[in-house]
């Protein structure tokens, strides 16, 4: 059995799509989930998997499961841009991992295949809030401002759909969004033909309008913290709301917290766009935290640790 394992956000979906445009395989098993569901290799039985391709999930968070699969003789293509730690030295592993702040998995996969799918890579980059490399690639392709905006919207809509505590919070399961792309060589064709962007566009507008009514909490320095209620709309919009606020004030760091069902807090953290550093270091301080230098998160922070998080946040981004 072959498995395609991918993050349920824009970067994960578009990365897999680029890979499958180059390596068609309609029979692979898809394994995905909400954006924060990243330990996806742990659900695989090593005896049943002969090969897998992994996109946009941290190797470090899947290390134990990955090593078991490799020891069982599984062949693995691994593409990512999150903190990886030490990469296993195994003959079955082909890892393409770049943790620099100005790249994402879709850009890495596109480069791996000679840059033949730039439009999908642009969507992935915009979905990860990487406007500068996305705009540079769009300019290199000679896209008009309107065309560039449409790819930006598609990336942001797919990214918006990935956020939630469970798949039930989402408008569409991520594997449905991916299947809707299969066989298409142009995102403009998808935008013209598919119904999903229409639904996502309306949901995004409604959820973001609610979030924009929430005032910032008092913190020191230039950074900003927002506390959103424990409702599905807030869980859906937390990531894109964080990206929007980061674009609005690029010299500031941002933390968006939403309430989980058990009373703990889920964080989306964005380092200042002008200084993309240490968001992963901050979030990996906590057991359920992880991410990359520019953008990271914590899945479940006990509410009584909020003041300690704020102190740490303020110290790291004065």
Q: Domain check: are 114 and 181 in the same one?
A: yes
Q: Domain check: are 198 and 78 in the same one?
A: yes
Q: How far apart are CA 253 and CA 225, in angstroms?
A: 9
For residue 244, is it within any domain? Answer: yes
Q: Give the contacts of 104 (CB within 8 A, at least 6 positions apart).
A: 11, 56, 81, 124, 125, 127, 128, 130
Sign of the Cα pseudo-torsion (17, 124, 9, 156, in order) = negative
Q: Which of 182, 202, 222 is the last residue of a domain?
A: 202
Question: What CATH number corresponds to the domain at position 221?
Answer: 3.10.310.40
Q: Domain check: are 11 and 141 in the same one?
A: yes
Instruction: Give the Cα-Cα-Cα angle 293, 153, 282 (nearest 5 degrees).
Output: 15
Q: Which of 202, 231, 256 is the last residue of a domain?
A: 202
Burial of 273 (0-12, 13-18, 19+ CB in 10 A): buried
User: The whole model's pTM is what?
Assistant: 0.89
Name residue 118's beta-bridge partners.
none
For residue 66, is it within any domain? Answer: yes
User: What is the domain range of residue 219?
Assistant: 212-316
Q: Domain check: are 252 and 113 in the same one?
A: no
Helix (H) or strand (E) holding 16: helix 10-22
Helix (H) or strand (E) holding 21: helix 10-22
Q: Domain check: are 242 and 270 in the same one?
A: yes
Residue by residue, pLDDT tens for the chain (318 residues) are 899 999 999 999 999 999 999 999 878 999 999 998 889 999 888 778 999 999 999 999 999 999 999 999 999 999 999 989 999 999 999 999 999 989 999 999 999 999 999 999 999 999 999 999 999 999 999 999 999 999 999 999 999 999 998 999 999 999 999 999 999 999 999 999 999 999 999 999 999 999 999 999 988 788 999 999 999 999 999 988 999 999 999 999 999 999 988 989 999 999 999 998 999 999 999 999 988 889 999 999 999 999 999 999 999 998
Q: Domain check: are 153 and 69 in the same one?
A: yes
Q: Domain check: are 164 and 254 in the same one?
A: no
Q: Domain check: are 223 and 306 in the same one?
A: yes
For residue 221, is it within any domain? Answer: yes
- Over the range 129-160, which residues count as b (16 or more CB within 10 Å of their CB) and which as e? bbbebbbebbeeeebeeebbebbbbbbbbbbb
Q: Domain check: are 150 and 271 in the same one?
A: no
Beta strands (DSSP E) in the chain are: 2-6, 29-31, 51-55, 75-80, 93-97, 224-228, 254-259, 265-270, 289-291, 295-301
Question: What CATH number corresponds to the domain at position 140?
Answer: 3.90.1640
Q: How far apart are CA 212 and CA 114, in angstroms?
A: 41
Helix (H, G, I), strand (E, B) or coil at 98: coil
- What total of structural domains would you count in the chain? 2
Q: Domain check: are 59 and 152 in the same one?
A: yes
Q: Give the contacts of 198 (CB within 8 A, at least 6 positions apart).
A: none
Extract the tokens encoding 187. 């995102």
Q: Which of 202, 220, 248 is the last residue of a domain?
A: 202
């Amino acid at each position: 059995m072959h498995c395609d394992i991918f993050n349920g956000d824009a970067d994960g979906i578009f990365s897999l799509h680029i890979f499958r445009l180059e390596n068609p395989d309609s029979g692979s098993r898809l394994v995905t989930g909400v954006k924060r569901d990243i330990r996806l290799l742990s659900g695989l039985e090593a005896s049943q998997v002969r090969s897998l391709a992994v996109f946009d999930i941290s190797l470090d968070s899947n290390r134990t499961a990955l090593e078991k699969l490799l020891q069982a003789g599984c062949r693995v293509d691994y593409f990512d841009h999150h903190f990886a730690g030490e990469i296993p030295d195994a003959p079955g592993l082909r890892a393409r991992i770049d943790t620099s702040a100005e790249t994402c998995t879709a850009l890495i996969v596109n480069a791996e295949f000679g840059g033949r799918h730039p439009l999908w890579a642009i969507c992935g980059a915009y979905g990860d809030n990487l406007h500068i490399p996305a705009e540079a690639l769009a300019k290199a392709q000679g896209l008009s401002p309107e065309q560039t905006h449409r790819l930006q919207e598609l990336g942001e809509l797919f990214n918006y759909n990935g956020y939630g505590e469970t798949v039930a919070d989402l408008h569409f399961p991520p594997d449905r969004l991916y299947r809707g792309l299969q066989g298409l060589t142009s995102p403009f064709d998808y935008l013209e033909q598919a119904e999903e962007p229409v639904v996502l566009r309306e949901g995004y507008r409604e959820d973001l309008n609610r979030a924009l009514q929430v005032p910032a909490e008092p913190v020191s320095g230039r950074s900003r913290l927002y506390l959103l209620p424990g409702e599905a709309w807030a869980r859906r919009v937390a990531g894109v709301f964080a990206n929007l606020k980061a674009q609005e004030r690029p010299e500031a760091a941002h933390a968006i917290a939403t309430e989980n069902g058990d009373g703990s807090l889920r964080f989306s953290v964005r380092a200042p766009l002008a200084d993309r550093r240490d968001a992963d270091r901050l979030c990996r301080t906590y057991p359920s935290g992880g991410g990359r230098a520019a953008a990271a998160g914590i899945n479940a922070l006990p509410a009584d640790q909020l003041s300690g998080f704020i102190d740490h946040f303020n110290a790291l981004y004065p």
